[in-house]
Structure 1
Amino acid sequence: MNKKLFLMLLLTIGVASCGTEKPEQVTFASAVQSLTGQATKAQTSQTVDNIRRQLTPEVRQRFGNNALLIARLESRDQASVLIQSGVNRDVETYVTPDGISLSLRDGVLVGTRGLGFDLMNTDVSETAISNRGRAVRVHRYLDGESKIVIKSYICDYRGVDPIVESCKGKDTQFQNSYRVSASEIVASRQWIGPEVGYIQIELP
């Protein structure tokens, strides 16, 4: 489902309607005020719990039963629902109504777009979430002069629920955490970069 169709669907279910709002209308109206913090006609701040409760089977059906995510950007205290917009080999991309996108490989964040100071791409081929141990991460960012900046980190893994990934680089360290069920990451807290901070991601 492309962005235009996504926005049309939001309008169809009453985001811009007047009168008494149904729960799903509140959910998606708030989703438009997504991770960027850009205000829309919907001024009601939604929590992850509220969004999760309102994603009923009926609401999911209106989205064509497409795969969804719920995400919360901690630094801006903004939560949004995202819909799967595409799959490229083993990378799934999810998008908010206003075009913020997250790309994940097996639940691990490998790229963002539209947040500012985006994570352009990430080499997580050595990520050792399933077998613990140690791995190397490589992050690529776009700087203020539109040049690619490469950062590398050594990561160690511990724990079971959640699995904690502790990474250290030359001048930065961070911790990601992952909750896994049936070999699938169902919820996580992952670091995007020093300017954007952490994002919480979960399956609804």
Structure 2
Amino acid sequence: MKPLLASLACLVLVSCGVLGGGQGDNASTAAQALNMLRGGLFNRGDDAAPPQFTATRASLREAGITGPVLVARIEALGISAGLLQYQEVRGATVWRSLDGDTITTAGGLLRNTRGFGTDLHSLETAPLAQALSEGGATEYSRLFRGLDGLSQVETHRLYCRLEPQTRERVDVLGRGYDTQRYQETCNAQDRPVPIFVNTYWQGAGGTIWQSRQWAGPDLGYVELEEVRN
């Protein structure tokens, strides 16, 4: 069995925490909103077609969904899904789909996935968040944790560089935002080929409205958009 890191080194720009318990008002609100979605607001697909996100801002409002929605597009799976804000866990946000799959972010930065197959176990976000807050080109490291062939957790340090690029106006479900685009390149030690190259579109106040982030060696990249009505 090849070590996890060796497998990662072969993935050149692939295109393809234990969560806290659902307690309190946040869980109740999320459960009510999820019940509203059962009326067909989100197209769950069928055996012949993967689910695709088809909601609009108007249909979200009509369904009584006033909180943020995370739209995730996973090219490797051919799906796009809408996830509702479900919990806040130690400074991170857990987003939950109708089927119970979750994506955890911290300030818009991908931390882990659960339920999508071979998930992203965990990727450290604090060093990247600090770099984005400073706004300039900078270098730092992030810890990546993944499962090896024996389902044992392996930890690897990735060495990253963040670079500001151009200012762009992005469209998120029909609403435009002025953003600064950043590119993040992360390598394993002594390996010249990047493990991943992520892109972030950061708006005023630090909100990541749109991003393309690596979700592990199997899921590849996921495109995220945060929708706020």
Determine if the TM-score, normalized by the shorter chain, exceeds 0.5: yes
Q: Is the 8 A contact 2:103 2:110 kept in 1?
A: yes
Contact (CA 8 Å) 1:102, 1:112: kept in 2 or not?
Answer: yes
Match in the other structure for 1:8: 35
62-71 or 189-198: which moved more? 62-71
Q: Structure 2 residue aligned with 1:188, among 207, 211, 229?
A: 211
Bigger shift: residues 122-131 or 145-154: 122-131
- Partners of 1:6 and 1:97 within 8 A in 2: no
**C-alpha separation in 1, matches of 2:32 and 2:77:** 27
Does the 8 Å contact 2:72/2:81 carry over to 1? yes
What SS class does the counterpart of residue 61 from structure 2 fall into?
A: helix
Q: Which residue identity is paired with 2:196? A: F
Map Cα deviations across residues 97-154 of structure 1 (whole Å, 9 max, x no partner): 1111110111110111012222222222221123230110111113342210212210
Secondary structure, aligned partner of 2:127:
coil
1:119–1:82 CA distance, 2 compared to 1 (3 A): same
Partner of 2:155: 150
Deviation at 1:4, TM superposition (A): 5.5
When residues 80 and 145 of structure 1 are mapped into structure 2, their CA distance, relative to the original with a 3 A threshold, is same
Q: Which residues of 2 match residues 70-109 of structure 1 at below 5 A?
A: 70-109=71-110
Counterparts of 1:24-173 in structure 2, within 5 Å, are 25=41, 28=42, 30=43, 32-33=44-45, 39=46, 43=49, 46=52, 51=54, 54-60=55-61, 62-127=63-128, 128-131=131-134, 132-160=137-165, 161-170=180-189, 173=195
Structure 1 residue 58: Cα displacement: 4.8
Relative to 1, partners in 2 of residues 1:44 and 1:137: Cα closer, same or farther, differing over 3 Å?
Answer: closer
Runs of 4+, deviation exceeding 3 Å: 1-7, 42-46
* Cα shift at 1:166: 0.5
Structure 2 runs not aligned, ≥5 long: 1-26, 166-179
TM-score by length of 1: 0.76
* Secondary structure, counterpart of 1:60 in structure 2: helix
The whole-number CA distance in structure 1 between the counterparts of 2:66 and 2:34 is: 16
Identity %: 28
Structure 1: distance between partners of 2:223 and 2:107: 15
- Count, aligned residues: 178
For 2:68 and 2:140, the matched residues in 1 are separated by 29
Shift in CA distance, 202/81, structure 1 to aligned 2, threshold 3 Å:
same
Task: Work out the CA distance in 1 between the residues paired with 2:61 and 2:132.
Answer: 30
Q: Which structure would you say has the larger RCO, counting Cα contacts within 8 Å and 6 or more residues apart?
A: 2
Q: Which residue identity is paired with 1:165?
A: E
- Per-residue deviation, residues 164-189 of structure 1 (Å, max 9, x unmatched): 00110146521010001112111000
RMSD value, Cα: 2.4
